[in-house]
Amino acid sequence: MALLKNKPKTCLTLFGLLMPAVGFGQDASASSATSDSPELLLYTAMALVVIVAVLVLVVALYTLTIIKVIIRKEKVSELADQGLTYEEGPGFWARFNQKMTDAVPLEKEDAVLLDHNYDGIRELDNHLPPWWKYMFYLSIVFAVVYMLAYHVFDTLPLQEEEYQNELALASEEAEARKLLAVNELDENSVEATAVEAELANGKDIFDKSCAVCHAADGGGGVGPNLTDVYWIHGGSIGDVFKTIKYGVPQKGMIAWQATLKPTDIRDVASYILTMQGTTPASPKEPQGDPYEPGAAGQESGN
Amino acid sequence: MELEKFSYDNKIVKYFAIATVVFGIVGMLVGLTAAIQLFYPIFNFDLQYTTFGRIRPLHTNAVIFAFVGNAMFAGVYYSLQRLLKARMLSDALSWIHFWGWQLIIVAAAITLPLGFTSSKEYAELEWPIDIAIALIWVVFGINMIGTILKRRERHMYVAIWFYIATFVTVAVLHIFNSFAWPVSLFKSYSAFAGVQDALVQWWYGHNAVAFFLTTPFLGLMYYYLPKAANRPVYSYKLSIIHFWSLIFIYIWAGPHHLLYTSLPNWAQSLGVVFSIMLLAPSWGGMLNGLLTLRGAWDRVREDAVLKFMVVAVTAYGMSTFEGPMLSLKNVNAIAHFTDWIIAHVHIGGLGWNGFLTFGMLYWMIPRIYGTKLFSDKLANFHFWIGTLGIIFYALPLYWAGITQSLMWKQFTEDGFLQYPNFLETVTQIVPMYMLRAVGGLLYIIGVLVMAYNLVKTAYAGKLIANEPAEAPALEKREIVGGHWHAVLERKPIIFTSLALVAILIGGVIEFVPAFLIKSNVPTIASVKPYTPLELHGRDIYIREGCNTCHSQMVRPFREETERYGEYSKAGEFVYDHPFLWGSKRTGPDLHRVGAKYPDSWHFNHMLDPTSMSPGSIMPPYPWLFEQQVDADLTPAMISALRHVGVPYEEGFEDEANALMSKQAALIATNLKKDGIEIAPEAEIIALIAYLQRLGTDIKVKGVANQNVSSTQEGGN
């Protein structure tokens, strides 16, 4: 997906139209496949294998046709020696078609022509095509088995159970991540960052997700002003982290913990604190209490 | 035997054919407009009457009931008379049918842009028009059955079986799904609520496709294809088996539109298995059509009429294969709510209905005008540009649907949604929307060329208004024996009754338990009826057609509960008359939007969606800020809802408006805090009240929300 996104739109458009199959392959793999990754190599190798396989198939078919022609030639001359002429039987496709439809041949169809005539329309009484008939039977068997499996023997999970399984898997994965302790960062342990790249990341997130309510310069709008010293839910890095993480649903502040990684929340919280004391274009009136950095008790007392 | 002289009525055929072409062009142009709005939102000219939410239903109604409907009537009136060797029962009924149907279409074209809608898909028209549809449909039925009864042909041909099934089933579907309690002349509330309303609606919606778009056109195929190919129909046996299995099985399959919703599991499973069993009966029709062309394929290359029919039948085969596949739950989990479904229905609509109609018109119009088609070249051009149009329409949407669905479901390695902002998944597919509009444009160009070709043909000939014919009268004598089915073909009344029984069984078995057994919709004590202001907001939501782009149904998938909140429960919708689950997510789901954003967010967003969601393709709704809620209507709304089962106390009508002013004032004050001045009577206030209520009745205990409640307790 990421790969697709980076392409110009027109390119994507053409790509999508012309090469759906190739595109899907990328969809699935693109999140991790970069130009020199082993995955790309794997796909290239697989593509090569497919191409070779197709070539082999074409050659084999071609050889087969030649052999067939030779055999027929021999037969014709053999029969000619005995004074007979060679008569070709129906080809593979014709025989296949005949077998699939079980149709009365065109030249003999008078035998199954019904005697009705509706405004010139006649009807034949051909057999049901066998493949169609068996497909119908099979679908009925499928239906019975499906109902039994889901509703009588309860062997397959219905949607609620499926959902619980999905959640269980996700929490297993989350546990595994916790063991790796990559993202062990919360409102108690967070410290404001001053690393330029991390602040830049914070600004990116702010512009994308926060600016619509708090204004790009932090002056506020739907949400409160972030540049003054007044804070509704506390102005320490821990407080800001917490407000972003859990949100304040009753006032319309969204909880971002399902969307942003802890490090992302730290970055954006840190970026917000760098706005302190700046002068926005149209500042919203102060809301909440003034916060003094370092003052005792305010860290936890929100 | 003495030959009776009579004549076929071609004039009525001509009128229906003209209506087909005219409304076809109109309906498709409206569709093109809607398609353009998806990448160029301001293409509604900032008018409330032309927003996507209002013209999308206009498009679907126009192409289904005006274009395909008139085509069906033109085809039936032409073929029925000839297959029965009889003129229509009554010319008067024919003309009442014609003008009645056109008036209904005009009424739809006026009321839908005005926002008079029931919100139920393909049944949006309000109750007075619904009654008119029922009456006119019965007129059509009497005229058809009457003609059958006075026929000069002993047996009914397979085309007529399909016409009969169409008539009885559409009547049953339309009447049952339209049950509603009127509030005013152009406003009503569905008699059913929530899960049950959804079940009835999609029983109707699915079978509208089956019995308005499929069975009548199979009937037309059985007449026009053998006529055009001059070949006998391939298999009588196949006709019988696929006809009865098709109409019996089709009716059960409706719940496949509601997979992974709050519909009880057993009903969903029935929808799945009957959809799978539907594949063979559907393909029976395709096979009988294609195999009829045995020995005529060389002519298909040259004859535009046959080419149209071959592609139509093939498109029918493709979409009836795709349908059962989409009904498998694992495929449906990907495709549902995306543009994949839009592509799917257009293969059926543009390919099957459109192309069969075109083939039929090219064959029939020269014949009723006693001349040859004006230009075979133009007809061939129409064929190729139409085919190209279908490809350019469908492929981008398949691509868009799958892309968007995969983006919705994509998690990062850290266990977060890769695209938490819904809008990202929309802007990604906007180029596909553009391509789709190109496809639609190509298709319309083809139709315009056809219109020109047909008009030229008509002017070249002269309408044979009453085409003379002769046939011996049907002898009154008992015939015994013959093929068992041939006996039925001689007895139209018994045949019609049997068809009715066949189509009632599935519906009855699905509805009765869903309505009577309590455990199907477990009640939730905390779910309460809407307040008067919220009701007005809900009516605005319906009027603006918000449900055409926004679902209200969070499915039990991790990606959805992460994105939207706890999945939707059946008990939450018990006061939803009508249900508003939606069927397409052009925008995000709204079932848990309540209390998610501040009031001022909604205010700004409705005034200019791009202010809160830069890049959004939702149009602005400035009129909601000028128009006022009609408080005079409140008592009637409350009383109508009480009639359909919402437990408002007696006398609540009298205090409703006071309550409403109080809630509106609260929201207005709330907005004032954020520096927004607005009259509490403005429609936007009601809409905000409704949106803020959505999905908040149950205390949610999801994973994502446990921490939320702990912060609340932690105090602010």
Q: What is the pLDDT of residues B78-103, one digit of tens each?
A: 999 999 999 999 999 999 999 999 99
In chain B, the residue whose alpha carbon lies closest to the alpha carbon of A289 is: B716
In the stretch 252-291 of chain A, residues with CB closer than 8 A to chain B read 252, 254-255, 257-261, 284
In this complex, the residue of B272, B291, B601 whose CB is nearest that of residue A103 is B291
In terms of Cα–Cα distance, which of A270, A239, A237 is closest to A253? A239
In this complex, the residue of A5, A139, A166 whose CB is nearest that of residue B277 is A139
CA distance B302 to B298: 8
Residues in chain A with CB shorter than 8 Å from the CB of B600 are: 221-222, 252
Burial class (CB in 10 A: 0-12, 13-18, 19+), B563: buried
pLDDT at A256: 87
Res. B516: pLDDT tops 90: no
pLDDT at B702: 41
Domain A196-290, classified CATH 3.90.960.10, yes or no:
no
Per-residue pLDDT, averaged over A115-143, amounts to 94
CA distance B320 to B323: 5
The whole-angstrom distance between A4's CA and the closest CA on chain B is 9
Cα-based torsion angle of the residue sequence B23, B27, B28, B29 in order, rounded to the nearest 10 degrees: 100
For chain B, domain boundaries: 3-511, 532-711
Block residue for tokens 């509960």: B561
Mean pLDDT of chain A: 81
In terms of Cα–Cα distance, which of B110, B220, B114 is closest to B162? B220
In this complex, the residue of B295, B399, B599 whose CB is nearest that of residue A106 is B295
- Summarised one tens digit per residue, pLDDT across range B152-187 is 999 999 999 999 999 999 999 999 999 999 999 999
In terms of Cα–Cα distance, which of A161, A187, A169 is closest to A239? A187
Per-residue pLDDT, averaged over B639-667, amounts to 95
Confirm if B671 and B599 have CB atoms less than 8 A apart: yes
Beta bridge partners of A230: A290
What beta strand segments (E) does B658-707 contain? none
Listed range (A177-181, A182-186, A247-251) with the worst mean pLDDT = A182-186
pLDDT at A295: 54
- Summarised one tens digit per residue, pLDDT across range B104-132 is 999 999 999 999 999 999 999 999 999 99
Q: Do A213 and B601 touch (CB under 8 A)?
A: yes
Residues in chain B with CB shorter than 8 Å from the CB of A213 are: 598, 601, 612
In terms of Cα–Cα distance, which of B299, B339, B518, B332 is closest to B434? B339
pLDDT at A96: 84
CA distance A61 to A54: 11
Res. A20: pLDDT tops 70: no
In this complex, the residue of B79, B428, B595 whose CB is nearest that of residue A5 is B428
- Summarised one tens digit per residue, pLDDT across range B219-234 is 999 999 999 999 999 9
Confirm if B226 and B292 have CB atoms less than 8 A apart: yes
At the fourth CATH level, which superfamily is domain B532-711?
Cytochrome c-like domain (1.10.760.10)
Q: Do A163 and B273 touch (CB under 8 A)?
A: no
Classify residue B708 by its DSSP letter.
H
CA distance B44 to B33: 8
Q: Do B233 and A122 touch (CB under 8 A)?
A: yes
Classify residue A224 by its DSSP letter.
P
In chain B, the residue whose alpha carbon lies closest to the alpha carbon of A160 is: B556
User: Considering just the CA atoms, what is the radius of gyration of chain B in Å?
Assistant: 27
Per-residue pLDDT, averaged over B324-338, amounts to 96
Res. A292: pLDDT tops 50: yes
Residues of chain B with pLDDT > 90: what percent? 89
Res. B707: pLDDT tops 70: no
User: What is the rounded end-to-end Cα distance, in angstroms, of chain A?
Assistant: 42
Res. B46: pLDDT tops 90: no
- Summarised one tens digit per residue, pLDDT across range B529-539 is 999 999 999 99
Listed range (A150-154, B42-46, B660-664, B700-704) with the worst mean pLDDT = B700-704
- Summarised one tens digit per residue, pLDDT across range A183-224 is 568 888 888 888 899 999 999 999 888 888 898 889 888 889
CA distance B246 to B207: 11
Confidence of residue A36 (pLDDT cuts 50, 70, 90): low
Q: How far is CA B8 from the centre of its chain?
A: 34
At the fourth CATH level, which superfamily is domain B3-511?
Cytochrome c oxidase-like, subunit I domain (1.20.210.10)
For B445, residues 6+ apart whose C-beta sits below 8 A from its C-beta are B385, B389
In this complex, the residue of A9, A146, A162 whose CB is nearest that of residue B269 is A146
pLDDT at A183: 56
For B79, residues 6+ apart whose C-beta sits below 8 A from its C-beta are A119, B159, B219, B220, B223, B224
Block residue for tokens 């093939």: B314
Give the three-state DSSP class for B487. helix
CA distance B27 to B286: 27
Confirm if A205 and A268 have CB atoms less than 8 A apart: yes
Q: Which of A90-94, A296-300, B441-445, B669-673 tops mean pLDDT?
A: B441-445
Per-residue pLDDT, averaged over B615-639, amounts to 95
Confirm if B118 and B180 have CB atoms less than 8 A apart: yes
pLDDT at A3: 42
In terms of Cα–Cα distance, which of A291, A281, A284, A212 is closest to A253? A212
Q: Do B236 and A13 touch (CB under 8 A)?
A: no
Res. B690: pLDDT tops 90: yes
Q: Do A121 and B238 touch (CB under 8 A)?
A: no
For A112, residues 6+ apart whose C-beta sits below 8 A from its C-beta are A104, A124, A125, A126
pLDDT at A220: 87
In this complex, the residue of A118, A139, A170 whose CB is nearest that of residue B276 is A139
Q: Complex ipTM, two decimals?
A: 0.91
Residue B440, token pair as written in the block:
């639609």
- Chain B touched by A165 (CB under 8 Å): no
Listed range (A56-70, A126-140, A245-259, B405-419) with the worst mean pLDDT = A245-259
In terms of Cα–Cα distance, which of B193, B214, B176, B433 is closest to B315? B214
In this complex, the residue of B235, B276, B614 whose CB is nearest that of residue A142 is B276
What is the per-residue DSSP string for B582-620? Answer: -SB-SS---TT-TTTS-HHHHHHHHH-HHHHSTT--PPP
For chain A, domain boundaries: 2-81, 92-152, 196-290
CB atoms within 10 A of CB B248: 19
**H helix or E strand, kind and range, residue B270:** helix B265-292
Residue from A124, A138, A142, A300 to probe the interface with B (highest B Cβ count within 10 Å): A124
For B385, residues 6+ apart whose C-beta sits below 8 A from its C-beta are B442, B443, B445, B446, B449
Beta bridge partners of B217: none
- Chain B touched by A172 (CB under 8 Å): no
For B345, residues 6+ apart whose C-beta sits below 8 A from its C-beta are B209, B319
Q: How far is CA B44 from CA B41, B438, B481, B587, B602, in A?
A: 7, 18, 64, 17, 21
Confidence of residue B714 (pLDDT cuts 50, 70, 90): very low
The whole-angstrom distance between A57's CA and the closest CA on chain B is 29
Give the three-state DSSP class for A296. coil
Residue from B6, B224, B246, B269 to probe the interface with A (highest A Cβ count within 10 Å): B269
Mean pLDDT of chain B: 93
Residues in chain A with CB shorter than 8 Å from the CB of B418 are: 1, 31
Global pTM value: 0.86
